[in-house]
Every structure is written in structure tokens, then in C-alpha cells.
């Protein structure tokens, strides 16, 4: 099979509330696939059905490989130490603890701490380590960087990239456009139980009009520009500021339209 997970006509209701209305998509082996949507769009439900943790009403899901899961919220006993949790999970998985994974995720530094004393970022790193301890082929991450500061996000993104470079397929849920833009090969945007968009971020950018908003701050204040040829425009702008002998204090570039397009899709416009 060239795909890691195949989802066909997946439906799921909670009582009379139909959350998934026939989703079909495939996740290719070795890719980072993002499931996006606003709060309540059904990202966690989709992931949990794919993980085999939640019953669905109809459809078919096939996974090819061992699965590792990081849930959206998870908790361990307050007094357990990170290494005890790691050893426990390794035993369950009939596997040996991979020390390179532990050092990559900075688990060794947490050795002496109790679970209850770990920060949000440290807990997330531990949960990711527990998800990958069984050497899975497919890793599910539900909003892996929620609640993390900038440093924590960058470090976790780095670890996710490294796991992907080792050939792991990664499926992550997020509502952070910047996160999926940085990490994902392809994304599916859920809206009202259906897939409103599926493709690469570049395809989404083209659909959205491919416009960048640029803000340049100098001692004279802020100046705003838009461009669909970011490289060329930035080159010209920087030359222009140099000619005008203006010192640039800050540059901000946003895929403004991409966020707007996401809002438009998810608002059903």
C-alpha cells in the first residue's frame, strides 16, 4: 500500500448531532498531513476514529503500520517520574527504550521530576516521547503545540520534523494556519462535517489569491505593501530602503489572504 491511512465515507454523529458527513481521504506514507478546522469542526473526532479509539457510524478506515498516539489532553499519575512512565510504556509495547529519542525530546533533563511538577511544554514533550516509544510508523498528534510558548513550539516542531525525516507518517490536528503551513505536506480543512479543502498549502495559497501583506517599520513609522511575488518585491523594497538610507527596525510578512481564505471557508461564505 502506498498510503498510510485510507478513510472512506466516514460518518459520525453524537446523538442527533452529525459531526462527520462522509469524509474520504488518504494519507500518503511518509507525509505530514494536517487536519484543520475551527473549534468543534470535528478534528479530534476524525483523528480518534482513525486511531481506532472512537466508534464511527459508517465508512471504512484502513491503516498500514504501527500507530502511536498523542491525545489532545492526557494525564498521568501525579507522582510518576517521566522515566517510570517511559519504561512502563516501553514494556506495554514490548520494546526497548530508545535513548536517542529521549535525549532528542529532552526527557533526560526531567528525570528527577514528578509528573505533576512538569510544565505544559515538558508534559507535551513527555507525551510525544510516550507516543513514539513503540517505534510507530504512523504518529497521530492532536494539537501538539497548544498552550506552548514560542520556544516550546519551535522545539516541538523541530522534533516532529525529525520524526518525519526518519520516515514516519505524521497526522496532526491543528487550528493554527502558521503551524500547518510550516509543517504539513498536505492539509484537509473540515467545515460542517465535510472537507472544504484538501491539498498542499501552496495550492491553498494559489486558491486564496497568493497575496502577501508586508509591513516594514523604520524610524519614520510603518509602511504597508502587498505582493504576490514575495521574493522579487522584498528585494526591490530592501534596495529602496537602502537608497533612502532608512534603517529598517522590523519586517513582518503575512499570508494575509490565506488566513482570510480559511476564515471564509470555515464561515461558509
Provide the minimum distance between the beta carbon of 7 and ligand ATP in the complex, in angstroms, as a whole number: 14
Provide the minimum distance between the beta carbon of 39 and ligand ATP in the complex, in angstroms, as a whole number: 4
Return the number of the residue (123 or 175) whose C-beta is nearest ligand ATP.
Answer: 175
Write down the residue that cell numbers 498500514 correspond to. Answer: 64
The residue ranges that bind ligand ATP (CB under 6 A) are 14, 19, 37, 39-45, 175
Q: Which strands, in side-by-side order, build the sheet including 3-14? A: 17-28, 3-14, 58-63
Provide the minimum distance between the beta carbon of 232 and ligand ATP in the complex, in angstroms, as a whole number: 37
CB 200 within 8 A of CB 210: no
Provide the minimum distance between the beta carbon of 175 and ligand ATP in the complex, in angstroms, as a whole number: 5
Burial (CB count <10 Å: 0-12, 13-18, 19+), residue 240: exposed
- In the chain, the N- to C-terminal Cα span, in Å, equals 37
Return the number of the residue (44 or 105) whose C-beta is nearest ligand ATP.
Answer: 44
Provide the minimum distance between the beta carbon of 156 and ligand ATP in the complex, in angstroms, as a whole number: 18
Sequence-distant (6+) residues with CB within 8 A of 206 are none
Return the number of the residue (41 or 208) whose C-beta is nearest ligand ATP.
Answer: 41
Burial (CB count <10 Å: 0-12, 13-18, 19+), residue 172: buried
Write down the residue that cell numbers 516594514 correspond to. Answer: 216
Return the number of the residue (19 or 139) whose C-beta is nearest ligand ATP.
Answer: 19
Return the number of the residue (192 or 203) whose C-beta is nearest ligand ATP.
Answer: 192
Return the number of the residue (41 or 107) whose C-beta is nearest ligand ATP.
Answer: 41
Provide the minimum distance between the beta carbon of 268 and ligand ATP in the complex, in angstroms, as a whole number: 15
Provide the minimum distance between the beta carbon of 174 and ligand ATP in the complex, in angstroms, as a whole number: 9
Closest to 195 measured CA to CA, from 2, 9, 5: 9
Return the number of the residue (44 or 159) whose C-beta is nearest ligand ATP.
Answer: 44
Task: Retrieve residue 9's grid coordinates.
Answer: 465515507
Cα-Cα-Cα-Cα torsion 121, 122, 127, 133, nearest 10 degrees, comes to 130
Residue 90 C-alpha from the chain's centroid: 25
Amino acid at each position: 500500500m502506498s498510503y498510510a491511512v485510507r478513510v472512506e465515507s466516514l460518518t459520525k454523529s453524537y446523538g442527533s448531532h452529525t459531526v462527520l458527513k462522509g469524509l474520504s481521504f488518504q494519507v500518503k506514507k511518509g507525509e505530514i498531513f494536517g487536519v484543520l478546522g475551527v473549534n468543534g469542526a470535528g478534528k479530534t473526532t476524525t483523528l480518534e476514529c482513525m486511531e481506532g479509539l472512537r466508534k464511527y457510524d459508517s465508512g471504512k478506515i484502513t491503516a498500514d503500520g504501527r500507530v502511536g498516539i498523542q491525545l489532545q489532553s492526557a494525564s498521568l499519575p501525579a507522582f510518576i517520574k517521566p522515566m517510570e512512565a517511559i519504561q512502563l510504556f516501553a514494556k506495554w509495547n514490548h520494546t526497548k527504550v530508545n535513548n536517542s529519542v529521549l535525549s532528542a525530546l529532552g526527557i533526560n533533563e526531567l528525570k528527577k521530576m514528578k509528573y505533576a511538577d512538569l510544565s505544559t511544554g515538558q508534559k507535551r514533550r513527555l507525551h510525544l516521547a510516550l507516543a513514539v516509544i513503540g517505534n510507530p510508523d504512523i504518529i497521530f498528534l492532536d494539537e501538539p503545540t497548544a498552550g506552548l510558548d514560542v520556544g516550546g513550539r519551535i522545539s516541538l516542531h523541530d522534533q516532529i520534523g525529525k520524526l518525519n525525516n526518519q520516515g514516519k507518517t505524521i497526522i496532526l490536528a491543528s487550528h493554527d494556519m502558521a503551524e500547518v503551513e510550516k509543517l504539513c505536506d498536505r492539509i484537509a480543512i473540515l467545515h460542517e462535517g465535510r472537507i472544504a479543502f484538501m491539498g498542499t498549502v501552496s495550492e491553498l495559497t494559489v486558491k486564496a489569491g497568493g497575496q502577501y501583506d508586508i509591513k516594514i517599520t523604520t524610524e519614520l513609522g510603518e509602511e504597508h505593501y502587498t505582493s504576490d511575488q514575495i521574493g522579487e518585491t522584498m528585494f526591490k523594497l530592501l534596495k529602496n530602503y537602502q537608497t533612502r538610507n532608512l534603517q529598517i527596525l522590523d519586517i513582518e510578512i503575512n499570508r494575509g489572504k490565506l488566513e482570510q481564505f480559511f476564515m471564509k471557508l470555515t464561515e461558509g461564505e
